[in-house]
């Protein structure tokens, strides 16, 4: 099998890259190790930055997002029983975010790829990336019980943190930066209308809590728990009781309860692989970087990567110049590190560390009070939350 761009992974990064290339007349093949049903129900992020929403619209994949997604013009910070709303458009020149689940983004992109794009092979397991430092990379893969090889001019690893693409980088030519956090998120989906019309980020002496949503009738909520927590050891009632404690305020706001339909625990880590390119192999999304979920940046970082890469590949096709491909890693890493900074700042601002002291708690409150009282500090948060420029 032969193509111009071989893409490993049919998450939002791989699917959007294939879509952007198709619209520019560049052929590609997407290999996905899981079946279609798994990809379309895999629960991940649900907050799209302004730039991500704009990129999906530009790719012709925004129709259902615009119809069913929920535009949010603010977030709420809660601390010391107080509430402070951050007005995103007022602080960023009109930028906002959209609540639209990653599962829905994938469904939209899969439907478009199968209808209009190049081959998208499910249950096609990439086994390695070979020859990345030569003129024609090869991706051996297994599909329907048979082994085959995808030959391409460029290979792109959108295959996640545990994928095979990163393994093709020479050990002496890469650096890894990472941090593991001593806490995790216990997340639940509940069949109940959200108790607030925007996301609520709460710092509490018992730990962080987040009130989010998937739709006008489905709530998505999170609690900070110790790393390694078993979600099954928390009863529904215990979860609602703890959410109520951590989201409490001095006014008459109340948390609405409903049936819990799903529970899961999300570990928290920061990870960056440098560089994001080796020869004709490029990394994008979780294959290159992981952020803690506090700032809802994982999917958005992946979109930034593939928008940058698609632009570079099209530029090379149209002009013959490799300049944008040569600068791909450096261009992406500038945005990656700013996003890592923001995600780490939000995490340490709102979570209680296991060894936290009273002094640490007062510093957190002081930082939150600064955001609530200073337009400059609030603007810095709003600009990062709605997204740094793509590319």
Q: Average pLDDT of 102-106?
A: 94
Confidence of residue 189 (pLDDT cuts 50, 70, 90): very high
Listed in sequence order, the residues at least 6 apart from 374 whose beta carbon sits closer than 8 Å to its beta carbon are: none
Listed in sequence order, the residues at least 6 apart from 268 whose beta carbon sits closer than 8 Å to its beta carbon are: 180, 181, 183, 184, 185, 227, 292, 293, 347
Catalytic annotation present for 293: yes
Q: Report the C-alpha gap between 115 and 19 in whole angstroms.
A: 11
pLDDT reading at 75 higher than 90? yes
pLDDT at 391: 67
Task: Among 3.20.20.70, 3.40.50.300, 3.50.50.60, 3.20.20.80, name the CATH number for the domain at 2-70+101-179+269-351.
Answer: 3.50.50.60
Confidence of residue 41 (pLDDT cuts 50, 70, 90): confident
Q: Which of 137, 297, 328, 351 is catalytic?
A: 297
pLDDT 10s digits, 146-165: 999 999 999 999 999 999 99
Q: Report the C-alpha gap between 246 and 174 in whole angstroms.
A: 42
Q: Which of 201, 273, 292, 351 is catalytic?
A: 201
pLDDT reading at 211 higher than 80? yes
Q: Which of 137, 194, 292, 293 is catalytic?
A: 293
Catalytic annotation present for 82: no
Q: Which of 72, 196, 204, 289 is catalytic?
A: 72
SS3 94: coil
pLDDT 10s digits, 345-355: 999 999 999 99
Q: Average pLDDT of 284-295?
A: 96
pLDDT at 44: 72
The overall longest dimension of the chain from CA atoms, in Å, is 66
Q: Report the C-alpha gap between 332 and 322 in whole angstroms.
A: 16
pLDDT at 232: 94
**pTM of this structure:** 0.95
pLDDT at 3: 97
Catalytic annotation present for 12: no
pLDDT at 135: 82
Confidence of residue 264 (pLDDT cuts 50, 70, 90): very high
Confidence of residue 316 (pLDDT cuts 50, 70, 90): very high
pLDDT at 134: 83
The percentage of residues in the chain with a pLDDT greater than 90, rounded to a whole number, is: 95
pLDDT reading at 122 higher than 70? yes
Locate the domains of the chain by residue range: 2-70+101-179+269-351
Q: Average pLDDT of 12-17?
A: 97
For tokens 């998208």, what's the residue?
Answer: 120
């Amino acid at each position: 099998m032969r193509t111009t761009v071989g893409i490993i992974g049919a998450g939002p990064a791989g699917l959007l890259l294939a879509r952007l290339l198709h619209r520019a007349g560049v052929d590609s093949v997407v290999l996905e190790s899981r079946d279609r049903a798994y990809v379309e129900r895999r629960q991940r992020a649900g907050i799209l930055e302004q730039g991500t929403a704009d990129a999906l619209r530009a790719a012709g994949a925004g129709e259902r997002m615009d119809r069913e997604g929920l535009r949010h013009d603010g977030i709420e910070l809660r601390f010391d029983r107080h509430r402070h709303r951050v007005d995103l458009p007022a602080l960023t020149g009109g930028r906002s975010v959209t609540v639209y689940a990653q599962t829905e983004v994938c469904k939209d992109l899969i439907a478009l790829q199968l209808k209009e794009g190049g081959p998208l092979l499910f249950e096609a397991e990439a086994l390695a990336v070979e020859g990345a430092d030569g003129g024609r990379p090869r991706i051996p893969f297994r599909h329907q019980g048979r082994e085959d090889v995808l030959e391409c001019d460029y290979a792109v690893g959108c295959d996640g943190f545990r994928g095979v693409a990163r393994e093709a980088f020479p050990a002496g030519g890469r650096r890894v930066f990472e941090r593991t956090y001593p806490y995790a998120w216990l997340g639940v989906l509940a069949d109940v209308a959200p108790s607030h019309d925007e996301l609520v980020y709460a710092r509490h002496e018992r730990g962080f809590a987040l009130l989010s949503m998937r739709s006008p009738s489905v709530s998505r909520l999170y609690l900070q728990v110790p790393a390694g927590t078993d979600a099954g050891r928390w009863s529904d009632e215990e979860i609602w009781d703890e959410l109520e404690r951590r989201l409490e305020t001095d006014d008459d706001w109340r948390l609405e309860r409903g049936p819990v339909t799903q529970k899961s625990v999300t570990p928290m880590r920061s990870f960056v692989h440098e560089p994001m390119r080796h020869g004709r192999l490029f990394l994008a999304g979780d294959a290159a970087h992981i952020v803690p979920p506090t700032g809802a940046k994982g999917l958005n970082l992946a979109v930034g990567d593939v928008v940058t890469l698609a632009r570079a590949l099209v530029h090379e096709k149209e002009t013959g110049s490799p300049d944008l491909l040569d600068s791909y890693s450096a261009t992406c890493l500038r945005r990656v590190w700013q996003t890592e900074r923001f995600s780490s700042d939000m995490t340490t601002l709102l979570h209680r560390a296991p060894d936290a002291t009273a002094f640490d708690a007062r510093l957190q409150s002081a930082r939150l009070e600064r955001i609530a009282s200073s337009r400059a500090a609030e603007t810095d948060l709003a600009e990062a939350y709605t997204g740094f420029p793509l590319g």
